[in-house]
Amino acid sequence: RLPVPKLEDTIKRYLNAQKPLLNDEQFRKTEQLARAFEKGIGRELHEQLVAQDNQNKHTSYITGPWFDMYLKAREPVLLNFNPFMSFNPDPKPEYNDQLIRATNMTVSAIRFMKTFRAGYLEPEVFHLNPEKSDTEIFKKIIRFVPSSISWFGAYMVNAYPLDMSQYFRLFNSTRIPKLNKDELYTDEKAKHLLVLRNGNFYVFDVIDRDGNMLKPSEIQAHLKYILSDNSPAPAFPLGYLTSENRDTWALLRKNLLDNGNEEALQKVDSAMFCLSLDDFPIKDLVHLSHTMLHGDGANRWFDKSFSLIITKDGTAGINFEHSWGDGVAVLRFQNEVFKDSTTTPAISPQSQPASVDSSRAVQKLDFKLNDALKAGVTKAKQTFDSTVESLSLNMIQFQEGGKELLKQKKVSPDAVAQLAFQMAFLRQYDQTVATYESCSTAAFKHGRTETIRPASVHTKKCSEAFVKGLSQHSTEELQNLIMECSKYHGRLTKEAAMGQGFDRHLFSLRCLALSKGLPLPEFYQDQAYASLNHNIISTSTLVSPAVQLGGFGPVVADGFGVGYQVQDDWIGCNVSSYPARNGKEYLQCIHKSLEDIFNVLKGKKIGS
């Protein structure tokens, strides 16, 4: 179970995270408020949270508040919440044809779903010592141990089974807009796929009456039929509504239902997943990011648990709604679909589609729109266009080294990337700001994420030495400063993964106070608390053989969204920003910072 940290540890960690962001006077005030909270109302709330947690052993203390946080948010899911991860191309170029890849990936996705629902999906396990635990003999033995104690057997060999409770929401699931708080809807009995092309909606069954998957050649035939349908794009594409403010969309949805669209919406909501087929090829990686993060808005349904997006040239990616689950579940799905569709593809370029009557099997959904709905779509499109217009996406690949070299030098690759983000911001804006790195707590029952706070007194000191004080430091001193950052970041990461951060704990205590109708404790009214949670640098990382790159929007108007991956011999960064910040310049500063850090680690003297 996810532990509730000790209150004194939480306060200590909170103050450590505040230290680099505040001047002495501000820090004194924040420290006073924190100590008063720790002794007073905070202690009472903490004891209530622990008691509540002990009564709810089937779940974790963060589950309720975290779902509420997502589902009560009224901002659009587009750019504010939905991230994307794009697939690497199929290693066999001729398989990157749009129809072939769409068929193969759809078949692999259904195989994954059937394997999962039948209880045959291999458990997700984090192996600290893979030589001992990631072996056939271990799997054979653990298979016969009753599940109530099998996790203990895994712990003995340093293997940590991860929580998979989110997986059931991958399929046949949608976030439904409701006033004040949305709902998650899942219908595991539905057998059809939703396909979007040119803003038109199509559905067809991919599972037959006996629960078997349709033949791949039939799925291929139906997708071919959709790709060759030359119906015009709708004048009022409904997809735009899913990019609206949630209350606005909730009212429009009610209007849609009252206007005779219940059956069509039901098909959309219950579909296994959404397959978006785009009619253009990808020009470059920036174009790829824009396409997978937001696209044109007409050919998307952002509320679906996930959408598989495939462009004209067979480039594929996933855009997912974030309330139901985290990157861990989606990444596992992506890894399996990539592996299955590339190593055992269902169809080949030589395969012929089945001779079936697709015009009967495929249903094109028609929506009845009144003037209010037409106006709603028009307004949603205008908002979408202006929002997307203001979004910049930029990226770099740092080619002068990666994980291998950093491990040789005994520094944490993630710590170096995070240090570069701090150094770059200091170089560009001359300040240290609230920074967020997400860390999965899936090692615990119903764990979600915890925050790592990469901005520390160590990164601030090191960044200032590199940016402002090079002449006063020897290469060896600079190396030592990097080492300090690496050690501290390693500790923070380990604490977060073990559920020992401070963010989720303080967040839960705040939610508890509000749910009891108490006045908001003074601690939470501190400007420093608000600033720490205004995450100007929001970061997330993943490395996978299936994923080419990932990204997300900034979480605040004056922020950066930084998706990054540290590979064996290069480091990639994908940065999103709005006009308040210059993402291109920030990336140049990140590149310069990485260059300086690597040169210092190699023992070279660097110039300012």
Catalytic one of 46, 192, 294, 322: 322
| Contact assessment for residue 381 and residue 374, using Cβ atoms and an 8 Å cutoff | no
| Contact assessment for residue 306 and residue 321, using Cβ atoms and an 8 Å cutoff | yes
Evaluate if residue 151 carries a pLDDT over 80.
no
Average pLDDT over residues 182-202: 98
Q: Kindly report the average pLDDT of the chain as a whole number.
A: 96
Instruction: Decide which of 209 and 129 is more confident.
Output: 209
Evaluate if residue 607 carries a pLDDT over 80.
no
Evaluate if residue 538 carries a pLDDT over 80.
yes
Q: Is residue 74 part of a domain?
A: no
Model pTM score: 0.96
Average pLDDT over residues 578-589: 97
CA dihedral 328, 329, 334, 339 (to 10 degrees): 90
Co-location of 417 and 286 in the same domain: no
Of 161, 177, 210, the position where a domain reaches its end is: 161
- pLDDT (0 to 100) of residue 141: 85
Q: Is residue 608 part of a domain?
A: no
- 571: domain CATH number is 3.30.559.10
CA dihedral 184, 189, 190, 191 (to 10 degrees): 140
- Residues 6 or more apart in contact with residue 277 via CB below 8 angstroms: 98, 102, 195, 196, 197, 223, 226, 227, 299, 310
Co-location of 502 and 515 in the same domain: yes
- What's the maximum distance between 2 C-alpha atoms anywhere in the chain? 77
Co-location of 550 and 564 in the same domain: yes
Of 374, 390, 406, the position where a domain reaches its end is: 390
CA terminus-to-terminus distance, the chain = 49
Per-residue pLDDT band at 279 (split at 50, 70, 90):
very high
35 token code pair: 């100590």
- 100: domain CATH number is 3.30.559.70
- pLDDT (0 to 100) of residue 608: 58
Per-residue pLDDT band at 202 (split at 50, 70, 90):
very high
Distances (CA, A) of 555 to 79, 327, 350, 423, 507: 8, 17, 46, 20, 17
* Nearest residue to 240 via CA among 370, 379, 372: 379
Per-residue pLDDT band at 130 (split at 50, 70, 90):
confident
Co-location of 59 and 99 in the same domain: no
| Contact assessment for residue 520 and residue 37, using Cβ atoms and an 8 Å cutoff | no
Report the alpha-carbon distance of residue 482 to residue 502 in Å, rounded.
24
Of 349, 370, 390, the position where a domain reaches its end is: 390
* 3-class DSSP assignment, residue 431: coil
Co-location of 489 and 401 in the same domain: yes
Evaluate if residue 272 carries a pLDDT over 70.
yes
Give per-residue pLDDT as tens, 344-353.
999 999 999 9
Of 120-129, 203-212, 293-302, 573-582, which gets the smallest average pLDDT?
A: 120-129
Q: Is residue 258 part of a domain?
A: yes
Query: Residue 304 is part of which domain span?
Result: 80-120+169-390
* Nearest residue to 287 via CA among 393, 197, 397: 393
Q: Is residue 607 part of a domain?
A: no
Co-location of 332 and 268 in the same domain: yes
- pLDDT (0 to 100) of residue 405: 96
Co-location of 98 and 222 in the same domain: yes
Evaluate if residue 150 carries a pLDDT over 90.
no
Q: Is residue 191 part of a domain?
A: yes
| Contact assessment for residue 509 and residue 42, using Cβ atoms and an 8 Å cutoff | yes
Percent of the chain residues topping a pLDDT of 90: 92
- pLDDT (0 to 100) of residue 145: 86
Q: Is residue 546 part of a domain?
A: yes
Evaluate if residue 292 carries a pLDDT over 90.
yes
Co-location of 384 and 398 in the same domain: no
**458 in active site:** no
Co-location of 135 and 47 in the same domain: no
* Counted domains in the chain: 3
- pLDDT (0 to 100) of residue 126: 84
Co-location of 25 and 55 in the same domain: yes
Co-location of 303 and 403 in the same domain: no
* 3-class DSSP assignment, residue 539: strand
Evaluate if residue 138 carries a pLDDT over 90.
no
Rounded (10°) angle between helices 475-497 and 457-468: 150
Per-residue pLDDT band at 62 (split at 50, 70, 90):
very high
- pLDDT (0 to 100) of residue 403: 96
- pLDDT (0 to 100) of residue 134: 86
Rounded (10°) angle between helices 262-270 and 246-258: 130
148 token code pair: 């109530």
Give per-residue pLDDT as tens, 454-513.
999 999 999 999 999 988 999 999 999 999 999 999 999 999 999 999 999 999 999 999
| Contact assessment for residue 511 and residue 68, using Cβ atoms and an 8 Å cutoff | yes
Give per-residue pLDDT as tens, 206-265.
999 999 999 999 999 999 999 999 999 999 999 999 999 999 999 999 999 999 999 999
Distances (CA, A) of 368 to 21, 172, 374, 560: 54, 24, 10, 40
Co-location of 13 and 48 in the same domain: yes
Q: Is residue 1 part of a domain?
A: no
* Nearest residue to 596 via CA among 424, 439, 461, 347: 424
* 3-class DSSP assignment, residue 559: coil
